Structure 1
């Protein structure tokens, strides 16, 4: 009997979250290829009728909200050990385990010991650390990154990458060993019921929008600089900021008449917000694979982005968005975009691009090729890491 194990430590709080949506698709395909599907997850994982006949193994991570780092670390250790024990006791049943994230390093070691094929997703912070520059980071983050690098180098069989740029990073972070396979699989997609273009572009009432964490890493501090430059030529321009973070109070205290600071916006309301925006500004200093770009693109909102991390593999300048090379040219770029009399045509191109790449059908095909990569069958997109 063959078993496919999927580790989903934090799928999201809603059945409509990207984690749940992707998990349901993966489970549906894996059930056709394997006799049994096992999901290792946390206690907050919401059951769904679509997970019928799937073995859910829920583990609780204690002290998750504790203020003390040492206490949270202890809870993480307990969580890891629980996952490892559940995995080890089922070692004779499981053929492949797919996981990723900081909380799933110990299971990779168990997979290596138990001779289970292990797949680890290379995304998020490991990618950020290897791209242009390095964000300010805590000792906690440095320790996690070091441990992740060690485990990936020594114990993982297959690395799953999200953006093409990550291929060039394999050697830079020490993953260039011949026994390690690299698969290009991006599971991310959004159904039309969650994100789709529904508003006439020229009728949208927000010129520039921002969705994300208001902090230094996301480049939120540069929004005010750009605003002060742009408002001279466009005194009636409208900007909306969705999200909280360290710079939230600063934006509120500025009382800028053209900027509406919305704070946290529930995910169920994001589709309506994107359909009010003409431009989504993503001025990040460091990025992996920013989902907001895909969400906005599926609503026909034009992404204006900085040229960092995985962004450069998602956005093609003047085709499905606008790429800004540096902060010096950010204001000039935004002014040029706002003065473009044919933004509606660019919006249509943006929508067509993302609609053709980030719907369920395309994610389904990518996952099937991903399984081919693992099994060594068909035309896979899988190569040795040292190539």
Structure 2
């Protein structure tokens, strides 16, 4: 007979009287006969929070459900079970609790996985729910992740290929149609572009291939924004407003190559857009969105002579070369954000890719 394990949870231990009574109800996990006869006194001796070992009872499976039995036809009911660092809750009739459980006394919500294990500071098996300390859901964090998931599901079918208008086949018609290569994003990264603590979305043209180290083409930068609505004179708790805004959309086969680079002085991510004769650096700020901090270009003036510009200002060749060297040195490294393929497995994995420090931040925002 299969015996389940447990996860540690702080609980009240049995009183001496309760332990003595429970010991009289004990039988082996292999289904051996009772050490002592069960009686109504045995069940009544089990307190609201009972710490039980495997020798106190055993798990019995019926169909898809599991039950914890103290003996034949004698379930443990409405108790927490703790063993070897794992916790379960047992409901009426000895049925193991799964999913969401609301304590009938203090209305506290707890979450269990499909194996009945209490979740604590971890993601559910399907990756869609994160449970914080004491088995409680981080509601705002999960709403944020759900919004990102919905955006990614939409983005994986978005065409970033360059299109041009051509005449329709009918020579008598003046209508135009768009034609061109279809290019869909193949991967994404979650990166805090504006340094507000919340990760934003970056879409890439290429799929994840670890053996290739060349720069990855950025197709879009989508900023996540969260704020409280302005309601003057109201003492009622206000729900946070959440939105996603695309700050950058690039044609995959357009005039520019777009990459994500790192500011080697501050470590912040920046957007590097370039072609054969121009180099631009953008950073993302909370208030200004994409802020261009470098713009260098070369060309020819009306006389055909070489011309060098920083933004709209004409500069000398030596100053141009000096600024270009600064750009290359300060923003020469690719930003080390981990990418995930834009499929179901990749989306699920990517939306679980948070460090302990980041999860601690999101936990602190639940009541902010």
TM-score when normalising by structure 1: 0.25
Bigger proportion of residues as strand: 2
TM-score by length of structure 2 reads: 0.26
Say which one has the larger Rg. 2
Identify the structure with the greater helix proportion. Answer: 1
Structure with the bigger RCO (C-alpha within 8 Å, sep 6+) is 1
